[in-house]
Chains A and B, each alone.
Chain A
Amino acid sequence: MELSGAEILVQFLKDEGVEYVFGYPGGSVLHIYDELYKQDEIKHILVRHEQAAAHAADGYARTSGKPGVVLVTSGPGVTNAVTGIATAYMDSIPMVVITGQVPTAVIGSDAFQEVDTVGITRPCSKHNFLVKDARDLAVTLKKAFHLATTGRPGPVVVDVPKDVTDPNVKIPYSYPESVSMRSYNPKVKGNARQIRRAVELILSARRPIIYSGGGVILSGAAESLTELARLLEIPVTSTLMGLGGYPASDRQFLGMLGMHGTYEANMAMHECDVLIAIGARFDDRVTGKIEQFCPDARIIHVDIDPASISKTVKVDVPIVGDVDSVLTDMLQLLRSSERRLDPEELKEWWALIERWRSANCLAYERDSELIKPQFVVEKLWEITAGDAFVSTDVGQHQMWSAQFYRFDRPGRFVTSGGLGTMGFGLPAAMGIQFANPGRDVACITGEGSIQMCIQELSTCFQYMLPLKIVNLNNRYLGMVRQWQEFFYGSRYSHSYMDALPDFVKLAESYGHVGMRIEKPAEVEDALKEAFALKERLVFLDFITDQTENVYPMIAAGKAHHEMEMSPKSVLI
């Protein structure tokens, strides 16, 4: 088959099974757009800003099990997309980003809309390529998909100069079924000896805890994790990225750990004697003060990326491999043996944990005249039967989402954890809805964050995406305000969101339904009404208590047992 570069690119995407491309056209990608025009197999979603294209592809990837695909033009198209690429990189999300580039002949001459895409994206992508010859296009794209989706996933950028897609230059094409790279062979199966050592250590534990992370979700290992934890009756805590990896409504789940983790999770971390870290990367929001991290624990760490292991915290039993594969091997060893943890010790450990749990660390004022943000999330959870896909932006509302929407399934909570990108929520929700048509998708956001990608309301109207936007409007960059209250003598420097738009009218002018909710008594009905509107996007503007803070909180540089507690919780 003789095809032009542009035809090859589009044909390759079809052969690769790509359903959606999130993009925005421009000069350097016009040949490609012309090919997209001539077909209808691949659906191109036209966003309103390239950042949103990347976030939408990200949301799509997190909830479809397939890589997200982005197409943007050179120069400003690329620089706009960078925030989205970096966001996906920090959270290890598989994505292929195809960027237009100026023709090869003028690369390096400061040509119109030229930027050094490979240079700019090098530190925020898993890998990147510049394709200089159309004959390399198909195999490079195959490499990109391979790299993005295997090992520790991540975004891969393929920079394509305009002449490479020239419609007049035809070359042979056949779909490369597979690709091998001598320098890239991620290890999937864990070392058998290490796995046996880990099982021995777990069986000898008196106060074990599982610290589960985003790797469990990425690996599709929620079932194996749940089975392991239940078999051995070990308590489970999760990072922000790992939520849903173990059912949150289960008694063995202690909630999230870390800076805004629960009292029981953080205390159990501090007191544990064996820590089983699974697909988690010991982020500083999780560890707190490194010197006092799990002071009595021997640590097992399962991770597919050797560089994640012993990066910040030295571990005793490292296991490099895919979580699901390693847990399956562990389960096999355990099933073929009668040995279990000492039941008496375990009972005492659980008694201690139940005492911590009774502190009720997430308690908040329930008879307030003002809408409490926690209450809105709780009600959302109830009304969607805990079964919605939830994306968030970044700030207090993000933490309340993590604490109060109890995720029982993996891949339901979509949030920017590593980069903490405000503006992520709405476009990510779009991607989720494309991947999951007919399902409830809520975007929990704040009045600050939502304004960072608000233009996407237009995309939502064009494609009739019936998202439910839950705006926890506290008129503050709340997370910033909270830090200023705690650590800067309540000097609220530039954290007040003045001159806010009327979000109801704004939603309406984009063709959507808008609601403003000001009283606690109206919260439930408003949510019910919104979710009953199956075909429409509803923007719910909840006017919430401006003074509410996220508790518990471990201040920067403090250890797990040094939590700042809500005035409402009962300390014991």
Chain B
Amino acid sequence: MRHIISILLENEAGALSRVAGLFSARGYNIESLSVAPTEDPSLSRMTLVTRGSDEIVEQITKQLNKLVDVVKLLDLTEGSHIEREMMLIKVRVGNGGEREEVKRLADIFRGNIIDVSPASYVIELTGDGDKLDAFIQALGGITILETVRCGSMGIARGEKSLHL
């Protein structure tokens, strides 16, 4: 099963490689990973998406907790939660038809066109992975020049929160 795990981590050099090293050394898979400092600059927050049986995910969370740099951890999959990814996508828009079409699709998907040149648009889109995939599908014949996606970020719904 797919699990989305949120981790509060000491914001120290090497903390990220301890997590990454743990996954490669123990043969766990990482589907995506995103990390950045929090409002407390001594802490980073990481969201990690992995797949595995219940036993494996239990080991993953235990092994993560064992890392000295891991301060706190929450498996968001255990409760209701919100998940977001962000994508920047650059497409070729050579003629008026294409420009219209991309603008319309971006609106439908509630994306923003954030860069415009004579032959290209950059669209910014957030949502869960499926929505971003659907947008790419919907582009159909439009030429994609490049895409960049961040890993999933997650947060629990309601009052439940991951903090010190």
Q: Residues on A close to B: CB < 8 A? A: 118-119, 122-123, 126-127, 130, 147, 181-184, 305-307, 310-311, 314
Q: Once bound together, how far apart are the Cα atoms of A299 and B66, in whole Å?
A: 23
Q: Once bound together, how far apart are the Cα atoms of A122 and B71, in whole Å?
A: 18
Whether the Cβ atoms of B66 and A314 lie closer than 8 Å is no
Whether the Cβ atoms of B164 and A123 lie closer than 8 Å is no
Residues in A with CB closer than 8 Å to B164 are 182
Q: Once bound together, how far apart are the Cα atoms of A130 and B17, in whole Å?
A: 14
Q: Once bound together, how far apart are the Cα atoms of A305 and B67, in whole Å?
A: 12
Whether the Cβ atoms of A184 and B63 lie closer than 8 Å is no
Size bracket, chain B contacts: 20 to 34
Q: Once bound together, how far apart are the Cα atoms of A184 and B71, in whole Å?
A: 8
Q: Shortest distance in angstroms between A310's beta carbon and chain B's nearest beta carbon?
A: 7
Whether the Cβ atoms of A307 and B71 lie closer than 8 Å is no
Whether the Cβ atoms of B66 and A181 lie closer than 8 Å is no
Known contacts A130-B13, A310-B55; A182/B62 CB under 8 A: no
Knowing that A118-B14, A122-B21, A130-B14 touch, tell me 7 more A-B residue pairs with CB under 8 angstroms.
Answer: A123-B25, A182-B164, A183-B71, A183-B72, A306-B62, A306-B65, A307-B65
Residues in B with CB closer than 8 Å to A181 are 68
Contact sample, A vs B, 28 pairs, CB 8 Å cutoff: A122-B14, A122-B17, A123-B25, A126-B68, A127-B68, A130-B13, A130-B14, A147-B68, A181-B68, A182-B71, A182-B164, A183-B10, A183-B68, A183-B69, A183-B71, A183-B72, A184-B68, A305-B66, A306-B62, A306-B65, A306-B66, A307-B59, A307-B62, A307-B66, A310-B55, A310-B58, A311-B59, A314-B55
B18 within 8 A of A: yes
Q: B1-43 interface mask toward A, CB cutoff 8 Å, 1 = contact, 0 = none?
A: 0000000001001100110010001000000000000000000
Q: Shortest distance in angstroms between A82's beta carbon and chain B's nearest beta carbon?
A: 15
> What residue of chain B has the Cβ atom nearest to residue A308's Cβ?
B62
Whether the Cβ atoms of A123 and B69 lie closer than 8 Å is no
B48 within 8 A of A: no
Residues in B with CB closer than 8 Å to A314 are 55
Contact of A123 among B14, B21, B62 (CB under 8 A): B21
Q: Once bound together, how far apart are the Cα atoms of A314 and B63, in whole Å?
A: 16
Residues in B with CB closer than 8 Å to A122 are 14, 17-18, 21
Q: Once bound together, how far apart are the Cα atoms of A171 and B10, in whole Å?
A: 26
Q: Once bound together, how far apart are the Cα atoms of A113 and B164, in whole Å?
A: 41
> Is the contact region of chain B dominated by helix, strand, or loop, or is it mixed?
helix
Q: Shortest distance in angstroms between B6's beta carbon and chain A's nearest beta carbon?
A: 15
7 smallest beta-carbon distances between A and B, as pairs: A307-B62, A183-B71, A127-B68, A306-B62, A123-B25, A307-B66, A184-B68
Q: Once bound together, how far apart are the Cα atoms of A163 and B65, in whole Å?
A: 34
Q: Shortest distance in angstroms between A145's beta carbon and chain B's nearest beta carbon?
A: 14
Q: Once bound together, how far apart are the Cα atoms of A118 and B21, in whole Å?
A: 12
> What residue of chain B has the Cβ atom nearest to residue A119's Cβ?
B17
Q: Shortest distance in angstroms between B19's beta carbon and chain A's nearest beta carbon?
A: 11
> What residue of chain A has the Cβ atom nearest to residue B69's Cβ?
A183
Q: Once bound together, how far apart are the Cα atoms of A147 and B68, in whole Å?
A: 9
B49 within 8 A of A: no
Q: Once bound together, how far apart are the Cα atoms of A91 and B65, in whole Å?
A: 20
Q: Shortest distance in angstroms between B94's beta carbon and chain A's nearest beta carbon?
A: 46
Residues in A with CB closer than 8 Å to B55 are 310, 314
Q: Shortest distance in angstroms between A130's beta carbon and chain B's nearest beta carbon?
A: 7
Q: Shortest distance in angstroms between A97's beta carbon and chain B's nearest beta carbon?
A: 16
Q: Once bound together, how far apart are the Cα atoms of A307 and B18, in whole Å?
A: 16
Residues in B with CB closer than 8 Å to A127 are 68
> What residue of chain B has the Cβ atom nearest to residue A314's Cβ?
B55
Residues in A with CB closer than 8 Å to B21 are 122-123
Interface centre among B13, B62, B70 (most CB of A within 10 A): B62
Residues in A with CB closer than 8 Å to B58 are 310
Interface centre among A130, A182, A310 (most CB of B within 10 A): A182
Q: Shortest distance in angstroms between A176's beta carbon and chain B's nearest beta carbon?
A: 17
Whether the Cβ atoms of B63 and A307 lie closer than 8 Å is yes
Q: Once bound together, how far apart are the Cα atoms of A45 and B63, in whole Å?
A: 36
Interface centre among A122, A183, A314 (most CB of B within 10 A): A183
Q: Shortest distance in angstroms between B123's beta carbon and chain A's nearest beta carbon?
A: 38
Residues in B with CB closer than 8 Å to A123 are 21, 25
Q: Once bound together, how far apart are the Cα atoms of A184 and B72, in whole Å?
A: 10
Q: Once bound together, how far apart are the Cα atoms of A119 and B65, in whole Å?
A: 20
> What residue of chain A has the Cβ atom nearest to residue B15's Cβ?
A183
- Of residues 46 to 93 in B, which have CB atoms within 8 Å of A's CB atoms? 55, 58-59, 62-63, 65-66, 68-72
Q: Shortest distance in angstroms between B162's beta carbon and chain A's nearest beta carbon?
A: 14
> What residue of chain A has the Cβ atom nearest to residue B14's Cβ?
A118
Q: Once bound together, how far apart are the Cα atoms of A122 and B69, in whole Å?
A: 12
Q: Shortest distance in angstroms between B85's beta carbon and chain A's nearest beta carbon?
A: 28
Residues in A with CB closer than 8 Å to B70 are 183
> What residue of chain A has the Cβ atom nearest to residue B64's Cβ?
A307
> What residue of chain B has the Cβ atom nearest to residue A132's Cβ?
B13
Q: Once bound together, how far apart are the Cα atoms of A306 and B59, in whole Å?
A: 9
Q: Shortest distance in angstroms between A94's beta carbon and chain B's nearest beta carbon?
A: 15
Q: Once bound together, how far apart are the Cα atoms of A130 and B13, in whole Å?
A: 9
Residues in A with CB closer than 8 Å to B65 are 306-307
Q: Shortest distance in angstroms between B142's beta carbon and chain A's nearest beta carbon?
A: 44
Residues in B with CB closer than 8 Å to A184 are 68
Q: Shortest distance in angstroms between B55's beta carbon and chain A's nearest beta carbon?
A: 7
Q: Once bound together, how far apart are the Cα atoms of A306 and B71, in whole Å?
A: 16
Q: Once bound together, how far apart are the Cα atoms of A73 and B14, in whole Å?
A: 22
Q: Once bound together, how far apart are the Cα atoms of A147 and B66, in whole Å?
A: 12
Q: Shortest distance in angstroms between B71's beta carbon and chain A's nearest beta carbon?
A: 4
Residues in A with CB closer than 8 Å to B62 are 306-307
Q: Shortest distance in angstroms between B100's beta carbon and chain A's nearest beta carbon?
A: 51
> What residue of chain A has the Cβ atom nearest to residue B72's Cβ?
A183
Q: Once bound together, how far apart are the Cα atoms of A310 and B60, in whole Å?
A: 12
Q: Once bound together, how far apart are the Cα atoms of A183 and B18, in whole Å?
A: 14
Q: Once bound together, how far apart are the Cα atoms of A488 and B25, in whole Å?
A: 31
Q: Once bound together, how far apart are the Cα atoms of A184 and B67, in whole Å?
A: 9
Q: Once bound together, how far apart are the Cα atoms of A130 and B164, in whole Å?
A: 26
Q: Once bound together, how far apart are the Cα atoms of A123 and B63, in whole Å?
A: 12
Q: Shortest distance in angstroms between A318's beta carbon and chain B's nearest beta carbon?
A: 11
> What residue of chain A has the Cβ atom nearest to residue B68's Cβ?
A127
Q: Shortest distance in angstroms between A164's beta carbon and chain B's nearest beta carbon?
A: 15
